[in-house]
Amino acid sequence: MPEGDTIFRVARTLHRELAGRVITRFESDFPSLNRVDVDHRLAGRTIESVTSLGKHVLMRFSGDLILHTHMKMRGVWRVSPAGGLPRRDPRARRIVIATAEAIAVGIDIPVAEILTTRELVRHKALAALGPDLLNDRFDPDEAARRMRARGRERIGDVLLNQRVVAGVGNVFRSEILFVAGVNPHLPVAEVSDDDLRRVIEAGRALLAANVTDRRRLLTTAVGRRTTRSLDPSVRLWVYGRSGKPCRRCGAPIAADTSGPDARVTYWCPSCQSRSTSGASR
């Protein structure tokens, strides 16, 4: 599933290619979008902006209409020069938005709706999102408060809850906790204030470090790295490395499943011991 860094890059690239330009063509296989297009024709409207909110993309059109999309596991947005289309099965093209200069295609997108500003504010799923780690107005105190409110839950599961903080997925969950030196199985109530602060700071830092510019390929994690190493084989600290030696201490990386979706968590039992006082920072 695309994580917050990927969705941020999606929105930034769509904004760069489309913002300020007039829609010349709109197509969709979502009946709800087509009904809006019939009643409030989208062709001829200006694309005002494209922004991300956690794992959601919001494309604003003139006339107070907002296209909200969520990629889930397989969705992807691609941008091509005007007149071009991605070489994919046409049945996978769920949304097509063209301007005189470029064409954006939503492929395999499972969730899409058009909202007004008023509907956006009242949107249950979007309004419930926690602070977005990549937002300039991110509030670390509010993030900590929301985490503390789930004191009995494991910190590794809490990080994936978009109502607590928005933008963390399974890769970053494991990497953030390794960098912070916190065991993913530790209940939030047993995480010290200092360690909770380190988790939040690591989350913000790691996502921010992975929003470097890419122009065309918009929803893959290719090139994502958390180690700061220039070696392409040393991109991540623990994710996907079960049984392999920790890059810091050499202990075997552990893995198990947790949470309602039984996602795999990776951690170093030595660097992320239950007491984190001796963990590397």
27 is catalytic: no
Q: Which of 9, 17, 55, 94 does the annotation list as catalytic?
A: 55
55 is catalytic: yes
Long-range contacts, stretch 133-137, CB < 8 angstroms, 24+ apart: 133/4, 133/165, 133/166, 133/167, 133/168, 133/203, 133/204, 133/207, 133/208, 134/4, 134/5, 134/8, 134/52, 134/167, 134/204, 134/207, 134/208, 134/211
Going along the chain, which residue ranges are E strands? 25-28, 47-53, 56-61, 65-70, 76-81, 93-98, 102-107, 111-115, 254-258, 263-267
Q: Which of 3, 146, 184, 224 does the annotation list as catalytic?
A: 3
Structure tokens, 93: 């093209």
Q: Which of 21, 163, 214, 263 does the annotation list as catalytic?
A: 263
3 is catalytic: yes
124 is catalytic: no
Which sequence positions are flagged as catalytic?
Answer: 2-3, 55, 263
